[in-house]
Amino acid sequence: MKTPLAALLCLALAGPAAATEIGDMTDAERAAFRDEVRAYLLDNPDVLMEAISVLESREQQAQATSDAELIAENAEALFDSGDSWVGGNPEGDVTVVEFLDYRCGYCRRAFPEVEELIESDGNIRFIVKEFPILGEQSVLASRFAIATQRVAGDAAYETVHDELMTMRGEVSEASLQGIAEDNDLDWDAIAVEMEAPAVDERIEAGLALGQRMGVNGTPSFVFGDQMVRGYVPLDVMREIVADERG
């Protein structure tokens, strides 16, 4: 069934001079055609809104298809890199990946909601990808978190991750040392590990992965085979997870 706008275009193009090609119109016919379309849209603005809605829907569908392809192409790096921290339920039926920067205000806003999503659901596998893009303090914080995991294990990483997401003030060696000592972690060993090439490689790999995935800000998420760029509230996260489960 043609929309009213489509019907108007068909009628406008059906004149003897216009035939079926706009390019065959004379200047006068083209001007008249434009005037007719403009007048119709002014009289029926809902048609324009309908057209915009259809266009947006098609763009969203195309983006979703593109994102699903990106996720499939980068599945191993996203879900099974072997070095990223994995929290929640390691056997969960839905995997959520978050690209984050510890200095990002929206990441901090999302932090308690992500925690609530994981804890209340109980069947989500959660992976963190370090994505420090907001300057030297961001890089320093990621170095600290990664080095802590390499020195003291996953539980220690989770502890400093939570501390970094909720800390106030500047990120500095002194503040990081305070976090380590407050949690009975070996600061000297962590400080040495922060300069290790493996830490550089992990950060570089996360940044490269994010670039391939079209991540240009934090937080950004992968929910199963869906990509969400930017902050979303808890209720939306739950809807996406439910959609992933079908």
Domains in the chain, start-ordered, CATH in brackets?
A: 4-73 (no CATH), 76-245 (3.40.30.10)
Please give the single-letter amino acid code of residue 39: A
Higher pLDDT, 39 or 51: 39
CB atoms under 10 Å from CB of 159, counted, come to 19
Say how far apart CA 161 and CA 185 lie, in whole Å.
13
Segments in 127-196 forming alpha helices (H)? 136-152, 154-166, 173-182, 187-193
Assess whether pLDDT exceeds 80 at residue 13: no
Q: Would you give the DSSP letter of residue 218? A: S
Query: Which are the contacts of 244, defined by CB distance < 8 A and separation ≥ 6?
Result: 94, 223, 224, 225, 226
Assess whether pLDDT exceeds 90 at residue 224: yes
What digits encode the pLDDT tens for the residues 86-123? 999 999 999 999 999 999 999 999 999 999 999 999 99
What digits encode the pLDDT tens for the residues 58-72? 555 545 558 999 999
pLDDT confidence of 56, banded at 50, 70, 90?
low
Assess whether pLDDT exceeds 80 at residue 12: no
* pTM to 2 decimal places: 0.75
User: Which pairing describes strands 86-88 and 220-223: parallel, antiparallel, or unpaired?
Assistant: unpaired
User: Which pairing describes strands 94-100 and 220-223: parallel, antiparallel, or unpaired?
Assistant: antiparallel
Average pLDDT on 182-189 reads 98
For residue 15, the model assigns a pLDDT of: 47
For residue 52, the model assigns a pLDDT of: 64
Q: Cα separations (Å) of 164 from 175, 222, 236?
A: 10, 22, 25
> Are 27 and 16 spatial neighbours (Cβ–Cβ below 8 Å)?
no
Give the least confident one: 26-30, 49-53, 73-77, 236-240. 49-53
pLDDT confidence of 23, banded at 50, 70, 90?
low
Average pLDDT on 53-58 reads 56
> Are 128 and 161 spatial neighbours (Cβ–Cβ below 8 Å)?
yes
pLDDT confidence of 37, banded at 50, 70, 90?
confident
